[in-house]
A = this chain, B = another copy of it.
Amino acid sequence: MGIHFRKIRALMPDMTIRETDVYVDGEKIAAVGEAPEGFHADTVVDGLNRLLLPGLINAHTHTYMTMFRGCGDDLPFSEWLMGRIDPLEAKMTREDCYWATLLGNMEMILNGTTASIDMFIFTETASRAAEESGFRTVLTRGLTGPDGGQRRIDEFMGEYRDWKDRCSRVTFALGPHAPYSCSEAYLREVAALAKEEGLGLHTHISESQFEQQTIREQYGCTPAEYMDRCGILTDRTVAAHCVYLNESDMQLLAARGVSVATNPVSNLKLGNGIAPVPEMMQAGINVALGTDGAASNNALNLFRELSFVTLLHKGRTGDTTLVSAAEAMAMATRNGAKALGLTGCGEIKAGNRADLTVLDIDKPWLRPHNDLLSSLVYSARGDETTDVLVDGRFLLRNRELTTIDRERVLFEVDKTCGRLGLLK
């Protein structure tokens, strides 16, 4: 199928915005600028008042947690987690997880996001949701151990083997949960398995002061050092949070080629603080952008994260030049693709996958167009999204979802929330 984006402003790999023509053939971007020979357009998207972005990439989330949006907000952290979220999660069935994942996929698509890396309980349900919704995802299961650790690995590996050749958009990584929830032996086992199976790793590192303290007391080192000595820090590892990295931790992550997923909203909401993003970039770390789960955000909207990640560091340091609009946009696109190992994603260029987002830029809050990139990062809200494509297939077309039955999903989610005693 051929799609011609005609005379459209597009975000180029050098982070400038330029009017051009973009041609999609099948799953790929066939050309930018001149039409490829013999190109036939089945669909023409006129560029008037439109802007084309590489689909945004969510580098850390727990999509199924949309079910718990707004549960226990403004409570002390332990009351929120142990008193509210954990007991709810324990009651969640595979089916609940499936519908909540579709709600999350829907929300991400509506906000211009085309891919995520996701830490799950029931990985298989997320595979199914992504297969049906057309969303691109890297799936992991939160692995904690030793208690029940082997069972979790076995279940995950079973689901991975069932799914690994089934849908090219659904890939997998191993998800050792965090330094404080995994023993040293367990982490080493997971690291060895990743190597053996050729899988990447996704984990949480240095999210809270509590974690810093616990790991220091238990192992006499920082969480990053602990993860490194267990073999978890590799060039295929995505480490979420990293709020409390010190200078030498940053050098370590940079040397190992680890990507960091920063989650500015979640870190604030859970009282964990502000991650040293400019310092990590300075150290040469690939920094990508994530939302974390809806229970600690409460949205899966990367446009919100873009404004937080730029503004927080200016405010924290007093240096207004830190984390520019272009740097933030790179985190949400190119850096995300690199972190997730999504070859051919994250940039609009010939040969890349056609994972694309179209925005309506004729909005009062984006006008005048004195600096469009700046407007996208500092003013856009997500609702400017009109079209979203993954592998050249429209998941959103003229603001209508094409793959997800919105009403059915909302109905099923409400049904579960009713059963769990939620909903007000």
Which residue from chain B places its CB closest to the CB of A366 in the assembled complex?
B69
Q: Which residues of chain B are near A364, meaning CB under 8 Å?
A: 103, 106-107, 110, 406, 410
Choice from B271, B297, B324, B378 contacting A299 with Cβ under 8 Å: B378
User: Contact at A378–B73, with CB atoms within 8 Å?
Assistant: yes
Interface flags for A46-88 (1: CB within 8 Å of B; 0: not) read 0000000000000000000011111101111100100000000
**A342-361: which residues lie under 8 A (CB-CB) from chain B?**
none
Q: Which of B273, B312, B379, B417 contacts A370 (CB 8 A)?
A: B417
B368 adjacent to A423 (CB under 8 Å): yes
Known: A73-B378, A103-B364, A410-B364. Is A269-B320 also a contact (CB below 8 A)?
Answer: yes
A368 touching B417, Cβ below 8 Å: yes
Instruction: Give the contacting residue for A107; candidates B362, B365, B370, B382; CB below 8 A.
Output: B365
What are the residues of chain B within 8 A of A154 when measuring CB–CB?
none
Contact B370 A315 (CB under 8 A): no
28 pairs from A and B in contact (CB 8 Å cutoff) = A66-B368, A67-B368, A70-B378, A74-B310, A74-B320, A74-B324, A74-B374, A77-B320, A103-B364, A103-B367, A110-B364, A110-B365, A265-B307, A268-B312, A270-B320, A271-B314, A271-B319, A271-B320, A272-B318, A297-B378, A299-B379, A300-B365, A301-B381, A304-B381, A364-B410, A368-B414, A370-B417, A383-B383
Given contacts A69-B367, A69-B368, A269-B378, 17 further A-B contacts (CB under 8 A): A69-B374, A70-B378, A73-B324, A73-B371, A74-B324, A74-B374, A75-B320, A75-B321, A268-B314, A297-B378, A299-B379, A304-B307, A362-B410, A367-B413, A368-B423, A369-B424, A383-B383
Interface set of A (CB-CB < 8 Å, partner B):
17, 66-71, 73-77, 80, 103, 106-107, 110-111, 209, 265, 267-274, 297-301, 304, 307-308, 310-312, 314-321, 324-325, 362, 364-372, 374-375, 378-379, 381-383, 406, 410, 413-414, 417, 422-424
